[in-house]
Chain A
């Protein structure tokens, strides 16, 4: 590479804040025409925000964007499209009630007089695009809602190609695809780059990046920690190190002393051969009172799905869940709750809390019948019980009437925990317990979780943050694509090892 041609796209010093979060903190990105530029980073590193800025869907607070040598403002999605920037989002941005062809040309339909859609022309053009993508069997007249996820992905791609495109952003395009489909995807990407189109490719799978990537930019905590590394030559170790290298040290509560007698209590939760087709297979695990077990894995590895299946919110295709030796009726939340299982879900605002209601009402929600006398609520007893639970967890402010909406993320999480505490559950399932909780408050939350375990609760923890799983759990199960690939005591693992496992599937050394 003697003299590089001028870059197709240069983003420099891009900043973007949302209330309470600095999502992008001066990101640089340079993309050449005809290259596959990979964007890497952990969850929350800022990838999604960056590509939305590039798509014109978010306006950056600062920084500049240069396109083919000219400074541009991407003030709306349509501006970006007109320049030739197309984006394929991870959450499919399709309209289910419209046909394939209608989705492909949504917003820029071929028309007569700008108003009447030339349906036949749109279908012919869509069919041509689908053929180019290797899927001529998709009928352009079919409704998108009837298609499989993989086919919807193809339609999304056809939509991106329906513009006169110079740069395509693909956000985890392989997540919904099978290996055959991934091969097809790579053929398409090769075809595009040989036409001079640039591809910004986001994936968690390092092997994919090695196969098709030209250069790599790594994001961490809203910053680009490495710009334009050669994709083939950079060692995996280095990439992983750049993705994980941390400024913040978490403070974890001490585990039971290493020389303490091993936990030999009877398992309270036993999971045997649990399967859900397409999500996870043959998961076995045992959970003893006083123990914290962590599940580590990437998005799509099946970790949240396992938790929800144990809780009965999803029905397993095979296997069973037992509490205290008694098997639970599969797919029944009521059975799980009755047996003493509690879940603090990932989307706690949407799935667990009544945001505008008071702390008391949120905490007592699962135990209301206990305070009811012939249909009337004994509000004094309700309040006192809720207060005992929230005090035990040091929920702040110590005001049972405060609306949950006004609490910080950590204290909202404590309100969810208090609910299960009050219910007297034996097994606590925690899905991303520190999501949206700021760093300072995390340590306190960790201490609370450890204390609950010390009091005899069994805790199953899922987190996308590897250090959290390693620091908090006693035992860790590593998941990759729905399978447990490794199980070990937390002390025997470190972050790099776990990341190697989840990305490569086999230990490297």
Chain B
């Protein structure tokens, strides 16, 4: 990290009261803190804390089932599909939008990619179709919002309804079983690379790519700018509308990838796939510190949010808690996680 070198010809008047009115920087670190040389987000640290507590709870209540590699693989695998969707949604939210259609896009892409006709084309046909359908749905969202002037909430709500409808029309309510062996094999232990399931590798790759895109590229800067202050972005010469279009395309692409992953995982395509993904993905992003109004957020936080959710579900299932208790506890934990996060944030501020 380059610090500005102290200047020899530095003039007096600025220095003495440079820190004056609003914020004394000596005390205030802001949301960023340096840990082990990395600029980490305090909010992410608190989320990491929540995760550690969860692991402790899991380890104490179910030491045999919770603490083994099989369970680690299981948690990461279950996190991978919704995780990829969440990365896309995080971009959209940071860019000042919202995407309610992710679950429906996953469903549509997964059934379109598993029709008998598509399965004729084998592995490549399924993968290609899932991604293109995701991209196309994202394109429709993006064009309607960026150029058609529709409010993101409405445009993606409409996409939710019509994509689910189209998925139902394609399947006729039937479960489409995948018979392409190479696709099915990808979800089996024989395909694990050094003990890591391929789906988890895809999730990791999407996470790293998303992190890089957000933090190291002009695309990322523009996303934050458009979400944080669209007028400032416009005056800085950024094509705000095109950037918005790209964000929904990105979300659609993530849904396409997730749809393919879901096909591999479940060995089938069904119009009920991706049920309530929109809520899970948005909740994970918000828990991960992404501002719902846009302009701020991190990929690492969102991924931690997903892992927290998946771990909770895992611990509940291992302890054989029934769905009523699970739902109550899940709600309580969301509130608790956000409260802890705000505490930590305030603690870091003052």
Q: Do chains A and B touch in the complex (CB under 8 A)?
A: yes
Interface positions of A (Cβ within 8 A of B): 55, 57, 76-78, 81, 87, 89, 93-98, 102, 106-109, 111, 114-117, 119-120, 123-124, 127-128, 130-131, 134-143, 145-151, 159, 178, 180-181, 183-184, 278
Chain A residue at minimal CB-CB distance from B220: A117
The CA-CA distance from A181 to B22 in the complex, in Å, is 15
CB-contacts of B269-306 with A (<8 A): 291, 295-296
CB < 8 Å neighbour of A108 from B18, B19, B217, B237: B237
Instruction: With A57-B235, A106-B233 as known contacts, state yes or no: A180 contacts B13, CB within 8 Å.
Output: yes
Which residues of A have CB within 8 Å of B11? 134, 184
Which residues of B have CB within 8 Å of A138? 4, 18
Chain B residue at minimal CB-CB distance from A133: B14
Output the least CB separation between B342 and chain A (Å): 16
Q: Is the CB of A57 within 8 A of B234?
A: yes
Is residue B320 contacting chain A, with contact meaning CB distance below 8 A?
no
The CA-CA distance from A96 to B5 in the complex, in Å, is 24
Chain B residue at minimal CB-CB distance from A159: B236
One digit per residue, 1 when the CB lies within 8 angstroms of any chain A CB and 0 when it does not, for chain B 225-240 equals: 1011101111111100
Q: Is the CB of B4 within 8 A of A143?
A: no
Output the least CB separation between B121 and chain A (Å): 32
Q: Is the CB of A107 within 8 A of B237?
A: yes
Q: Is the CB of B225 within 8 A of A119?
A: no
Q: Is the CB of A178 within 8 A of B20?
A: yes
The CA-CA distance from A135 to B217 in the complex, in Å, is 27
The CA-CA distance from A145 to B14 in the complex, in Å, is 20
Q: Is the CB of B228 within 8 A of A98?
A: yes
Which residues of B have CB within 8 Å of A123? 1-2, 4
Output the least CB separation between B337 and chain A (Å): 22
Q: Is the CB of B22 within 8 A of A147?
A: yes
Which residues of B have CB within 8 Å of A119? 216
The CA-CA distance from A149 to B31 in the complex, in Å, is 18
Number of A-B contacts (CB under 8 A): 144
Instruction: With A77-B236, A116-B216 as known contacts, state yes or no: A95 contacts B25, CB within 8 Å.
Output: no
Q: Is the CB of A95 within 8 A of B224?
A: yes
Q: Is the CB of B6 within 8 A of A136?
A: yes
CB < 8 Å neighbour of A150 from B15, B20, B219, B233: B20
Instruction: With A96-B228, A107-B238, A127-B4 as known contacts, state yes or no: A116 contacts B25, CB within 8 Å.
Output: no
Q: How many residues does chain B have at the interface if contact means C-beta atoms less than 8 Å apart?
A: 48
CB < 8 Å neighbour of A148 from B20, B216, B217, B231: B20
Please indicate which of the listed interface residues A135, A149, A159, A178 has the most CB atoms of chain B within 10 Å of its own CB.
A135
Q: Is the CB of B238 within 8 A of A106?
A: yes
Q: Is the CB of A96 within 8 A of B229?
A: yes
Chain A residue at minimal CB-CB distance from B22: A148
Is residue B218 contacting chain A, with contact meaning CB distance below 8 A?
yes
Is residue B3 contacting chain A, with contact meaning CB distance below 8 A?
yes
Which residues of B have CB within 8 Å of A178? 17, 20-21
Which residues of B have CB within 8 Å of A142? 25, 30, 32
Output the least CB separation between A425 and chain B (Å): 35
CB-contacts of B286-335 with A (<8 A): 291, 295-296
Q: Is the CB of A143 within 8 A of B30?
A: yes
Q: Is the CB of A136 within 8 A of B4?
A: yes
Which residues of B have CB within 8 Å of A94? 229, 232
Which residues of A have CB within 8 Å of B231? 93
Q: Is the CB of A116 within 8 A of B228?
A: no
Q: Is the CB of B219 within 8 A of A97?
A: no
CB < 8 Å neighbour of B218 from A109, A183, A184: A109
The CA-CA distance from A77 to B240 in the complex, in Å, is 12
Which residues of B have CB within 8 Å of A141? 1, 39
Is residue B350 contacting chain A, with contact meaning CB distance below 8 A?
no
The CA-CA distance from A138 to B15 in the complex, in Å, is 10
**Lowest 10 CB-CB distances: which A-B pairs, in order?**
A127-B4, A78-B237, A107-B236, A148-B22, A93-B232, A95-B228, A97-B296, A146-B30, A107-B237, A97-B295
The CA-CA distance from A131 to B31 in the complex, in Å, is 25
The CA-CA distance from A168 to B22 in the complex, in Å, is 27
Instruction: With A116-B216, A146-B23, A148-B21 as known contacts, state yes or no: A184 contacts B13, CB within 8 Å.
Output: yes
Which residues of A have CB within 8 Å of B31? 143
Instruction: With A77-B234, A136-B6 as known contacts, state yes or no: A96 contacts B295, CB within 8 Å.
Output: yes
Chain A residue at minimal CB-CB distance from B238: A107
Is residue B241 contacting chain A, with contact meaning CB distance below 8 A?
no
Q: Is the CB of A120 within 8 A of B2?
A: yes
Q: Is the CB of B225 within 8 A of A106?
A: yes
Q: List 22 A-B contacts (CB under 8 A).
A: A76-B237, A77-B236, A78-B237, A81-B237, A94-B232, A102-B224, A106-B236, A109-B221, A115-B217, A117-B216, A117-B217, A117-B221, A119-B216, A127-B4, A130-B4, A131-B4, A138-B4, A142-B30, A143-B30, A148-B21, A184-B14, A278-B21
The CA-CA distance from A325 to B36 in the complex, in Å, is 61
Q: Is the CB of B18 within 8 A of A135?
A: yes
Instruction: With A109-B221, A117-B218 as known contacts, state yes or no: A127 contacts B2, CB within 8 Å.
Output: yes
The CA-CA distance from A109 to B225 in the complex, in Å, is 13
Is residue B28 contacting chain A, with contact meaning CB distance below 8 A?
yes
Chain A residue at minimal CB-CB distance from B296: A97
The CA-CA distance from A145 to B228 in the complex, in Å, is 11
Output the least CB separation between A394 and chain B (Å): 38
Instruction: With A139-B4, A148-B22, A149-B21 as known contacts, state yes or no: A95 contacts B218, CB within 8 Å.
Output: no
The CA-CA distance from A108 to B7 in the complex, in Å, is 26
Which residues of B have CB within 8 Å of A159? 236
Which residues of A have CB within 8 Å of B217? 115-117
